[in-house]
């Protein structure tokens, strides 16, 4: 009875801590959402905290009426899909062979991959390389330089190594090639880690804007985060004049920035529930019998 009571107290404490931590993580998002839906007077008087004050959707109407913002969002969605697919294909193709101990030069390849985690050529050589390949002002300038993340590759390689060799041996006895074994055996058992790494790649690309700031000058190829960056920078100079209350009907820059951030944040947040079903363990339980 004492052990059961102690377990319940520990479980209750853990639930309370996790709930509190989750709420603290949601506070910034709730505040931004409240600012984007509040009136100018409430924002100026600092009345907005976690709930909207004097509801107003003027800022969202301005964001949705901006054709460049919509086109930037659509381009970013295309960019994230292309980037994630290419990255996962390249990462899988690199990680699977490195699990084979008979691969010649395996240790040297792993050493070179680890080397890139700690040392790089730097920003200027990377820019000169992208420019020499004539990738500037193209979508490939935002895709090719980051195709393979060394840390994610090592994670995937470690997961592939944990798959029992008996499964691959039985597939080879049935006449399956290495590629067929990868497609039919390894990848279906690796869906949790593949979904997780895909989400990491997608979120990283969605939030990235520095490479676009360096390589892209055409506004048609601006990702959504670069548009937000320009919006914040352009409105910094107008904050003092906008908060004087000369125009009570137009949203002040703070409201417009909050609405734009929410506009760019919600799509990537909707991806997680779709991938959540893959974040489970025990996919291989019962895969090997006897």
CATH, residue 156: 1.10.3720.10
Q: Is residue 110 part of a domain?
A: yes
- The answer to whether residues 165 and 195 belong to one domain is yes
What pLDDT score does 80 carry?
Answer: 93
From 5, 23, 2, 24, select the one nearest 13 (Cα to Cα).
5
What pLDDT score does 140 carry?
Answer: 92
- The answer to whether residues 141 and 248 belong to one domain is yes
What pLDDT score does 2 carry?
Answer: 56
How would you write the pLDDT of the chain (290 residues) with one tens digit per residue? 556 777 788 888 899 999 999 888 888 888 888 888 887 778 777 888 888 888 888 888 888 887 888 888 899 999 999 999 999 999 999 999 988 888 888 889 889 888 888 888 788 888 899 999 999 899 999 999 888 899 999 989 988 888 888 887 887 887 878 888 888 888 888 888 888 889 889 989 998 888 888 898 888 888 988 888 877 776 655 554 444 444 444 445 678 888 888 888 888 888 877 776 666 543 443 344 43
- The answer to whether residues 34 and 140 belong to one domain is no
Domains identified in the chain, total number:
2
Q: Is 153 exposed, middle or buried (0-12, 13-18, 19+ CB in 10 A)?
A: buried
From 220, 185, 261, select the one nearest 31 (Cα to Cα).
261
- The answer to whether residues 155 and 212 belong to one domain is yes
Q: Is residue 99 part of a domain?
A: yes
What pLDDT score does 285 carry?
Answer: 37
Q: Is the dihedral of CA 279, 283, 285, 286 positive or negative?
A: positive
CB crowding 5-19: b at 16 or more within 10 Å, else e: eeeeeeeeeeeeeee
What pLDDT score does 279 carry?
Answer: 60
Residue whose tokens read 């906008």? 242
- The answer to whether residues 93 and 30 belong to one domain is no
Q: Is residue 289 part of a domain?
A: no
- The answer to whether residues 102 and 38 belong to one domain is no
- What residues contact 179, with CB distance under 8 A and at least 6 apart? none
- The answer to whether residues 119 and 31 belong to one domain is no
Q: Is residue 287 part of a domain?
A: no
What pLDDT score does 63 carry?
Answer: 82
- Domain span at 114: 60-278
- The answer to whether residues 174 and 78 belong to one domain is yes
- The answer to whether residues 193 and 148 belong to one domain is yes
Q: Is residue 22 part of a domain?
A: yes
Q: How far, in Å, CA of 153 to CA of 146, rounded?
A: 12
Residues in the chain: 290
Assessment of whether the complete model's pTM goes beyond 0.85: no
- The answer to whether residues 114 and 38 belong to one domain is no
- What residues contact 230, with CB distance under 8 A and at least 6 apart? 222
- The answer to whether residues 38 and 106 belong to one domain is no
What pLDDT score does 82 carry?
Answer: 94
- The answer to whether residues 204 and 269 belong to one domain is yes
Q: Is residue 106 part of a domain?
A: yes
């Amino acid at each position: 009875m004492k052990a059961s009571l102690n377990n319940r107290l520990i479980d209750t404490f853990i639930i309370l801590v996790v709930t509190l931590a989750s709420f603290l993580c949601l506070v910034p998002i709730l505040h931004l959402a409240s600012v984007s839906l509040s009136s100018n007077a409430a924002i100026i008087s600092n009345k907005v905290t976690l709930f909207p004050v004097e509801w107003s959707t003027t800022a969202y109407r301005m964001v949705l009426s901006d054709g460049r913002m919509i086109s930037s969002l659509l381009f970013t969605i295309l960019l994230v899909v292309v980037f994630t697919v290419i990255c996962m294909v390249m990462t899988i193709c690199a990680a699977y062979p490195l699990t084979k101990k008979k691969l010649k030069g395996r240790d040297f390849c792993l050493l070179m991959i680890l080397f890139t985690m700690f040392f790089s050529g730097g920003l200027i050589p990377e820019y000169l390389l992208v420019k020499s390949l004539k990738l500037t002002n193209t979508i490939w300038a935002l895709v090719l330089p980051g195709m393979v993340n060394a840390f994610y590759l090592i994670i995937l390689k470690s997961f592939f190594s944990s798959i029992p060799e008996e499964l691959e041996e039985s597939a080879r006895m049935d006449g399956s090639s290495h590629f067929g074994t990868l497609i039919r055996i390894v990848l279906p058992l690796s869906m949790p880690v593949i979904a997780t790494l895909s989400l990491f790649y997608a979120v990283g690309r969605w939030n990235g804007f520095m490479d676009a700031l360096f390589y892209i000058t055409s506004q048609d190829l601006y990702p959504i985060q670069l548009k937000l960056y320009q919006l914040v920078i352009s409105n910094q100079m107008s904050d003092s004049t906008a908060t004087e209350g000369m125009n009570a009907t137009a949203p002040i820059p703070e409201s417009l920035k909050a609405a734009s951030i929410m506009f760019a944040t919600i799509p990537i947040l909707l991806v997680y529930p779709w991938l959540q079903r893959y974040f489970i363990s025990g996919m291989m339980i019962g895969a090997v019998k006897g």
